[in-house]
Structure 1
Amino acid sequence: MNPVQNYISTFSPEVQELLKQVREIITNTAPEAEESIGYGMPAYKLSGKPLVYFAGYKKHIGLYALPSGHEAFAEELNKYKKGKGSVQFPVNEPLPLDLIERIVKFRKEENSG
């Protein structure tokens, strides 16, 4: 089991399913990104630069797309609790999978540019 799979396996089945969905979006959108654990959570790097991170919590899934990734989608993220470079998706609501995919694509283009 790789470190990210091991990380995901430590959560409740419901949270595991959401984390797997986020991981799948990232790995499908940026298959060339390096997957590891950074800051205690799944981390993805592209061209040697951070792409995105995600983390599981009891009541939410955290997505960390650095401040630029969140600023670009600020309007769509307004309904979620946010920090400077993070957003929290409640585990009792469907994940905005399309939005997460567009954020990852944005960060991928930003890293490649």
Structure 2
Amino acid sequence: MNALENYYEQHKEPIKSCLLALRSIILAQDQDISTSLKYGMPFFSYKGKMFCYLWMHKKYGQPYIGIVEGKHFEEPFLLQEKRSRMKIWLFDPNEDLPLNTIQNVVQKAISLYQTEVVKLKNH
């Protein structure tokens, strides 16, 4: 078992299943999304640029998706806390995941990176 797989395996149910489901949902959004372990957590990259990650909130004990460029998002369920750039989205592992909303947020993040890539190529 590699370190990335071990991250998921170390959690107890229902958190483990929640994290694995979030991983599957994120990876299914685009063929250019890859995952690796960075800073001890699963990070997801779009064409080599880190755009989100999975982690556990220390205070609330809930899994969350961290959106790297969250400052560009206005969704009320995304929390800024004390971060300047990133926002997080907490999930209750005992409830069904909001599949369509997760897909929409991941697609929005991908679109942001596609726009930024286009800007870089034109300058």
TM-score normalised by the chain length of structure 1: 0.79
Aligned pair partner of 1:87 in 86, 89, 98: 89
Q: Percentage identity across aligned positions?
A: 22
Shift of 1:34: 2.4
Could you say what the CA RMSD is over the residues aligned between the two structures, in angstroms? 2.1
Q: C-alpha distance in 2, partners of 1:6/1:109? A: 31
* 2:39 aligned residue: 39
List gaps (5 residues or longer) in structure 1: none
Secondary structure at the counterpart of residue 29 of structure 1: coil
Structure with more helix by fraction:
1
Shift of 1:11: 0.2
Amino acid at match of 2:102: I
Aligned length: 107
* 1:96 aligned residue: 98
Q: Which has the higher contact order (CA 8 A, sep 6+)?
A: 1
Amino acid at match of 2:28: N
Task: Please give the per-residue CA displacement for 1:88-112, whole angstroms capped at 9, x wherever unaligned.
Answer: 2222332222211111111111112
Amino acid at match of 1:89: F
Secondary structure at the counterpart of residue 31 of structure 1: coil
Whether contact under 8 Å (1:3, 1:36) holds in the other structure is no
Task: Please give the per-residue CA displacement for 1:76-98, whole angstroms capped at 9, x wherever unaligned.
Answer: x16xxx23411222223322222
Q: C-alpha distance in 2, partners of 1:11/1:34? A: 22
Q: C-alpha distance in 2, partners of 1:93/1:13? A: 12
- Is 1:63 the counterpart of 2:65? The answer is yes
Shift of 1:27: 0.8
List gaps (5 residues or longer) in structure 2: 116-123
Whether contact under 8 Å (2:27, 2:34) holds in the other structure is no
Q: C-alpha distance in 2, partners of 1:33/1:101? A: 13
- Is 1:21 the counterpart of 2:43? The answer is no
Whether contact under 8 Å (2:56, 2:64) holds in the other structure is yes
Larger radius of gyration: 2
Shift of 1:40: 1.7
